[in-house]
């Protein structure tokens, strides 16, 4: 296994100074107390006292002793000398002229301060720590190196040589990997191993190997596609490998191994050692079995949605065709009925007069026609769904005979109907009179039960499928063994696990164990807020009480746009003049020089694998994905880091969700350290909004929406933006599902150093349930509601007098529901906080269309109270409303940047599978963050330069600056690339080679050749 995995930065910083320590570091590591001075005073001569004092500081700060004192920064030498009263630090040149002196001093320091050599038992303890980390995770070796260095310094172990540590890490990781391979290879029996080996051979009907065939998931939505997806799952399931055999194995490493199997070629797998090959095949089958089942159920859900949508289209066309007849009949009936209103016509003569106008037979025909073509108010086009029974027959037998459904109590009726159809669907019966009828709703009744009171086969089947889709989406019915369609309730904290963590969860969430105490606190908070807002409402010119409608409501005046003062315009112009345009290729490489984000990309199977100029290759691949231009425009056969083979290899082995997420976290965390970003916000506030992308290729991970995608299908990239303009999380959503399902996920699953506690969304992200979950988790939900004044305001005290707000405080909450479910509510919130269950899956299961559970009702109840508190703050505080608007505008402006970057192929995402879509949009998010970070860095430098020039800068103006550009200028029209450098406060242009000398010279030669410039990126406008 390779041992030369250290980055240049790690090699240069190991046991050495990389610059002047800051004041905090000097105070922490180089301060000498009285005991230190007493120990140092035993040495004779200023040179020895200064030398041994510096060695004490070095071993504290670096973890080792220095042999060449010239490598110690001047600031450290002066800081130490001042504490000893030594004025002339040149005496240090005399120190260490005798080698024995340095060795003796090192031995004295080790003995006095209890530092130890890297030997037994510390080698064993470090090895055990590294082995544990290597076993449970797939951390890159560079991270383990940093971990080991920190551990050694914490335990006062003198750092060994870098090669000693790298060799140890490589050996430990190799042992952990071999152990994983061995355990996986022992799972299958001899017969199963033979079957697994056959995966590498071609199938009977294709030149592709069975493994390659199984990798390909469904891309179309149809009955045959569902049947093929089910057969794919059955093939994997027939290997007989079971997930319970993996309970003792690390999930992260299994996932990475399976992903590697899915990316690498059959040829590479066949060349592996027998043990590794078997481990890879086992990991592949187990992971792809779950994935194949998820894919099949995704196709089922999408197919049922298509049937419903097609039924609606057919019904609407029928409706349009019949409108002329309906209008004609309605007018005739209106004329006939008008005779009933004539007062002068005697009652006994009405029938004769009506029939004299419209013959009896004609009137009967008109009534029959109206009944045939008129639609009831609750019509869901079920008639047209029943007409599509022929499509259903193609896939329903496969569904009923293959997929084993289970249910929660709320899904028992659906499961009973499923079991019945599993037994009876193969028969030729036209009527299912003995079928369970609990699933037949009122709107389905006339289509399922005919005039003779028989339950029709067609009607019952379509009624069942409609109910099954709803139950699956709510997870009332679920499929064991599925990840996306499994039971989220089974993943919650339960039994002994919950009891062991119960008090910790309550404390971490900040809620009392007594529900009455929580309700009392909520009631007091709501009551006092009502009274405060009511007292100030008369002075609030932006809010008025409107009683003209059927129900009283509040009207809220729109926020007036903020004027842009001349000082802000002038500041923006000065900064814009100082910031040059920059080519995106150079921008990514420079941001990597600042942050080292490329170090987070490691090989999918061999984390130690490194090649020369890997950051160049990674930056090129990221740019290809983010700009949606593919690798072809970036290939340079004369640049080793940009050859076709290198870029394809980098993309296949380094670009994946986990590495993109880690790299993005570096950018977000670096942005948070910049003073300018801290002026914009502290990272506690964020917004969530979706970008829509058309997907013109065949894929099941897309959905229709004519407003956003026209006649095509598309996806939504639901991303989260902090108040520092950095994007810290993104979710790919098929079509345009409700935002409220996913809004919590960004807070709970993001992996950056930010800690956002308040999130702002548009109306689509809001629901009472989400308000309740946010409150339980300790977050503040601040949506921009489209009509906040018309919302229902809830009260807890029925008899409380809130003055002018009494008329709108119409909702009465029921705290008893909260009391009954309090412990369950906290258990659910704790499970979300600890990552036991995915937020979107749980929210979907709680949003039941019929008969919500007691838990759901309780969360909604507390959500109504929290929503009312939000509404009261919203109408009372204009600054609060403006803060919400400002943050949402930041997110929309960031979308404009991302849209301009993703300019290739008309901005359409042409990846067929979810992983590819997530990787591409993850790369887009990372590159967008790089642009934001680059602009922030140079805007900060420009501000510093302006201050140095004597400019007076207004803090309010600085807070309104933005590192985003709107994409108004065509990228191809941006001037050639140059980077600015600040020398003594003077802005000077310089070449890239001067700015970043450590990067590939060949790349810069190539980049500076006319015609080879990639997508340029302008600065903020």
> Does 996 have pLDDT greater than 50?
no
- Confidence at residue 31, expressed as pLDDT on a 0 to 100 scale: 93
> Which phi and psi (to 5°) does residue 157 adopt?
-105, 125
> Does 380 have pLDDT greater than 80?
no
- Confidence at residue 229, expressed as pLDDT on a 0 to 100 scale: 94
Sequence-separated contacts (24+) of 235-239 with Cβ below 8 Å: 235/210, 236/285, 236/288, 236/289, 236/292, 237/289, 239/188, 239/192, 239/195, 239/196, 239/285, 239/289
CA nearest neighbour of 928 among 631, 690, 591: 591
Give Dmax over CA atoms of the chain in angstroms. Answer: 134
Q: What is the DSSP string of 654-698?
A: H-SHHHHHHHHHHHHHHHHHSHHHHHH--S-EEEEEEEEEE--S-
Give the helix/strand (H/E) hosting 233.
helix 223-237
Tens of pLDDT, residues 709-740: 988 899 999 999 999 999 999 999 998 877 77
C-alpha distances (whole Å) from 765 to each of 165, 722, 841 are: 50, 17, 15
- Confidence at residue 892, expressed as pLDDT on a 0 to 100 scale: 93
Give counts: helices (H), strands (E), the chain. 42, 16
Looking at the DSSP bridge assignments, the partners of residue 731 are 718
For the chain, which residues make up each domain, given as ranges?
8-180, 184-306, 487-557+766-876, 566-664+913-1017
Q: How far apart are CA 639 and CA 56, in angstroms?
A: 47
Is the Cβ–Cβ distance between 433 and 441 less than 8 Å? no
Task: Output the six-digit token pair for 154.
Answer: 């914490």
SS3 for 106? helix
What is the rounded average pLDDT of the residues 783-808?
Answer: 88
What is the rounded average pLDDT of the residues 989-998?
Answer: 32
- Beta-carbon contacts of 691 under 8 Å, excluding residues fewer than 6 positions away, are 716, 717, 719, 895, 898, 899
- Confidence at residue 1015, expressed as pLDDT on a 0 to 100 scale: 45
pTM of the model: 0.80
Average pLDDT taken over every residue of the chain: 85
Q: How far apart are CA 240 and CA 220, in angstroms?
A: 28
DSSP-derived pairing of the beta strands 780-781 and 758-760: parallel
Looking at the DSSP bridge assignments, the partners of residue 704 are 713
- Confidence at residue 735, expressed as pLDDT on a 0 to 100 scale: 87
- Least reliable range by pLDDT among 169-183, 950-964, 1006-1020: 1006-1020
> Which phi and psi (to 5°) does residue 192 adopt?
-65, -35
- Confidence at residue 965, expressed as pLDDT on a 0 to 100 scale: 60
The share of the chain scoring above pLDDT 70, in percent, equals 90
SS3 for 554? strand
What is the rounded average pLDDT of the residues 795-819?
Answer: 92
Tens of pLDDT, residues 73-95: 999 999 999 999 988 888 888 88
> Does 377 have pLDDT greater than 60?
no
Q: How far apart are CA 160 and CA 231, in angstroms?
A: 56
> Does 987 have pLDDT greater than 60?
no
The share of the chain scoring above pLDDT 90, in percent, equals 50
pLDDT category, 967, cuts 50, 70, 90?
Answer: very low
Q: How far apart are CA 5 and CA 611, in angstroms?
A: 9
- Least reliable range by pLDDT among 316-320, 495-499, 527-531: 316-320
CA-CA-CA-CA torsion sign (408, 409, 411, 416): positive
**Higher confidence at residue 245 or residue 1010?**
245
SS3 for 721? strand
- Confidence at residue 320, expressed as pLDDT on a 0 to 100 scale: 62
- Confidence at residue 205, expressed as pLDDT on a 0 to 100 scale: 67
> Does 1019 have pLDDT greater than 80?
no
Q: How far apart are CA 67 and CA 78, in angstroms?
A: 19
- Confidence at residue 1006, expressed as pLDDT on a 0 to 100 scale: 36
Task: Output the six-digit token pair for 1020.
Answer: 């903020």
What is the rounded average pLDDT of the residues 747-752?
Answer: 89
Neighbouring CB atoms inside 10 A of 428's CB total 5
pLDDT category, 607, cuts 50, 70, 90?
Answer: low
pLDDT category, 704, cuts 50, 70, 90?
Answer: confident
Q: How far apart are CA 22 and CA 138, in angstroms?
A: 34
Is the Cβ–Cβ distance between 929 and 726 less than 8 Å? yes
pLDDT category, 231, cuts 50, 70, 90?
Answer: very high
SS3 for 720? strand
Counting beta carbons within 10 angstroms of the beta carbon of residue 236, is it exposed (0 to 12), middle (13 to 18) or buried (19 or more)? buried
Q: How far apart are CA 939 and CA 50, in angstroms?
A: 43
CA nearest neighbour of 487 among 402, 422, 404, 416: 404
CA nearest neighbour of 794 among 863, 883, 896, 849: 863
> Does 423 have pLDDT greater than 60?
yes
> Does 689 have pLDDT greater than 90?
yes
What is the rounded average pLDDT of the residues 300-306?
Answer: 89
CA 537 to chain centre: 40
Peptide bond connecting 121 to the previous residue in cis, omega within 30 degrees of 0: yes
pLDDT category, 848, cuts 50, 70, 90?
Answer: low
Is the Cβ–Cβ distance between 337 and 385 less than 8 Å? no
> Does 697 have pLDDT greater than 70?
yes
pLDDT category, 378, cuts 50, 70, 90?
Answer: low
Is the Cβ–Cβ distance between 935 and 580 less than 8 Å? no
Task: Output the six-digit token pair for 486.
Answer: 């499994």
């Amino acid at each position: 296994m390779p041992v030369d995995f250290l980055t240049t930065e790690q090699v240069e910083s190991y046991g050495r100074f990389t610059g002047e320590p800051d004041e905090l570091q000097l105070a922490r590591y180089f301060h000498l107390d009285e005991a230190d001075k007493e120990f140092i005073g035993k040495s004779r001569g200023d040179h020895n006292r200064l030398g041994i004092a510096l060695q004490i500081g070095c071993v504290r700060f670096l973890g080792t002793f220095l042999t060449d004192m010239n490598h110690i920064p001047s600031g450290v030498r002066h800081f130490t000398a001042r504490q000893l009263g030594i004025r002339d630090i040149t005496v240090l040149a005399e120190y260490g002229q005798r080698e024995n002196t340095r060795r003796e001093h090192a031995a004295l320091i080790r003995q006095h301060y209890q530092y130890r050599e890297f030997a037994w038992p510390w080698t064993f303890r470090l090895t055990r720590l590294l082995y544990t980390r290597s076993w449970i995770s797939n951390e890159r070796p560079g991270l383990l190196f940093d971990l080991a260095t920190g551990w050694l310094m914490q335990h006062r172990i003198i750092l060994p040589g870098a090669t000693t540590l790298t060799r140890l890490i490589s050996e430990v990781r190799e042992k952990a990997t071999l152990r994983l391979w061995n355990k996986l290879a022992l799972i299958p029996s001899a017969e199963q191993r033979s079957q697994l080996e056959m995966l590498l051979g071609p199938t009977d009907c294709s030149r592709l190997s069975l493994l390659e065939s199984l990798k390909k998931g469904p891309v179309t939505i149809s009955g045959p596609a569902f049947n093929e997806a089910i057969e794919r799952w059955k093939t994997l399931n027939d290997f007989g490998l079971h997930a319970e055999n993996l309970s003792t194995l690390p999930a992260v490493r299994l996932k990475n191994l399976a992903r590697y199997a899915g990316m690498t070629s059959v040829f590479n797998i066949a060349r592996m050692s027998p043990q590794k090959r078997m481990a890879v095949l086992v990991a592949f089958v187990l992971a792809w079995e779950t994935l194949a089942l998820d894919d099949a159920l995704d196709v089922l859900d999408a197919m049922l949605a298509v049937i419903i949508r097609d039924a609606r289209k057919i019904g609407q066309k029928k409706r349009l065709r019949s409108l002329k007849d309906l209008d004609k009949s309605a007018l005739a009936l209106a004329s006939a009925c008008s005779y009933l209103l004539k007062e002068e016509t005697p009652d006994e003569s009405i029938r004769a007069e009506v029939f004299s106008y419209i013959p009896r037979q004609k009137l009967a025909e008109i009534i029959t026609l109206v009944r045939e073509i008129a639609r009831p108010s609750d019509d869901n086009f079920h008639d047209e769904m029943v007409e599509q029974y022929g499509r259903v027959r193609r896939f329903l037998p496969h569904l009923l005979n293959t997929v084993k459904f289970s249910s929660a109590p709320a899904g028992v009726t659906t499961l009973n109907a499923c079991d019945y159809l599993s037994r009876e669907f193969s028969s030729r019966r036209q009527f299912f009179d003995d079928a369970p009828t609990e699933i037949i709703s009122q709107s389905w009744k006339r289509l399922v039960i005919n005039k003779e009171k028989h339950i029709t086969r067609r009607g019952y089947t379509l009624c069942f499928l409609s109910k099954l889709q709803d139950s699956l989406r709510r997870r009332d019915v679920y499929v064991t063994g599925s990840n996306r369609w499994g039971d989220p309730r089974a993943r919650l904290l339960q039994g002994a696990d919950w009891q062991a963590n119960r008090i910790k969860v309550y404390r971490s969430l900040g809620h009392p164990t007594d529900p009455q105490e929580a309700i009392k606190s909520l009631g007091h908070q709501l009551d006092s807020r009502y009274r405060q807002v009511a007292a100030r409402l008369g002075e609030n010119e932006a809010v008025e009480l409107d009683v003209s409608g059927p129900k009283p409501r509040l009207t809220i005046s729109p926020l007036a746009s903020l004027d842009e003062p001349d000082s802000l315009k002038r500041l923006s112009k000065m900064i814009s003049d100082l910031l040059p345009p920059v080519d995106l290729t150079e921008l990514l490489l420079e941001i990597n020089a600042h942050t080292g984000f490329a170090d987070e990309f490691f090989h999918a199977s061999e984390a130690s694998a490194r090649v020369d100029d890997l950051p160049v290759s990674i930056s090129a691949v990221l740019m290809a994905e983010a700009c949606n231009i593919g690798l072809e425009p970036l290939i340079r056969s004369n640049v080793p880091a940009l050859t076709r083979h290198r870029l394809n290899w980098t993309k296949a082995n380094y670009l994946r969700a986990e590495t993109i997420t880690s790299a993005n976290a570096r950018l977000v965390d670096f942005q948070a350290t910049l003073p300018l970003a801290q002026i914009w916000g502290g990272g506690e506030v964020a917004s969530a909004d979706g970008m829509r992308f058309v997907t013109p290729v065949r894929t099941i991970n897309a959905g229709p929406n004519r407003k956003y995608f026209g006649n095509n299908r598309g996806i939504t990239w639901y991303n989260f933006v902090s108040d520092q303009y950095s994007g810290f999380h993104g979710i790919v959503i098929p079509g345009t599902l409700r935002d409220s399902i996913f809004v919590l996920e960004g807070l709970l699953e993001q992996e950056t150093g930010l800690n956002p506690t308040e999130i702002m969304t548009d109306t689509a992200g809001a629901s009472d349930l989400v308000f309740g979950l946010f409150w339980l988790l300790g977050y503040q939900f601040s949506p921009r509601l489209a009509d906040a004044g018309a919302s229902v305001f809830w009260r807890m005290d029925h008899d409380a007098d809130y003055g002018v707000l009494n008329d709108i405080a119409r909702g009465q909450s029921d705290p008893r529901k909260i009391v009954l479910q309090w412990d369950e509510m906290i258990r659910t919130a704790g499970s979300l906080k600890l990552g036991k269950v995915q937020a979107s899956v749980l929210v979907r299961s709680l949003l039941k269309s019929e008969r919500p559970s007691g838990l759901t009702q309780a969360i909604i109840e507390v959500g109504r109270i929290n929503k009312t508190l939000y509404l009261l703050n919203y109408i009372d505080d204009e600054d609060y409303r403006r803060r919400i608007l400002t943050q949402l505008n930041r997110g929309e402006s960031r979308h404009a940047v991302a849209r301009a970057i993703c300019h290739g192929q008309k901005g359409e995402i042409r990846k067929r599978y979810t992983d590819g879509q997530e990787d591409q949009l993850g790369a887009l998010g990372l590159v967008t963050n790089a642009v934001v970070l680059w602009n922030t860095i140079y805007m900060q430098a420009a501000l510093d330069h302006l201050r140095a020039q004597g400019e007076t800068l207004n803090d309010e103006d600085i807070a309104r600056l933005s590192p985003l550009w709107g994409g108004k200028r065509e990228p191809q029209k941006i001037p050639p690339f140059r980077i600015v450098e600040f020398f003594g406060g003077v802005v000077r242009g310089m070449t890239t080679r001067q700015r970043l000398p450590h990067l590939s010279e060949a790349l810069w030669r190539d980049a500076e050749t006319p015609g080879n410039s990639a997508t340029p990126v302008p600065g903020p406008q």
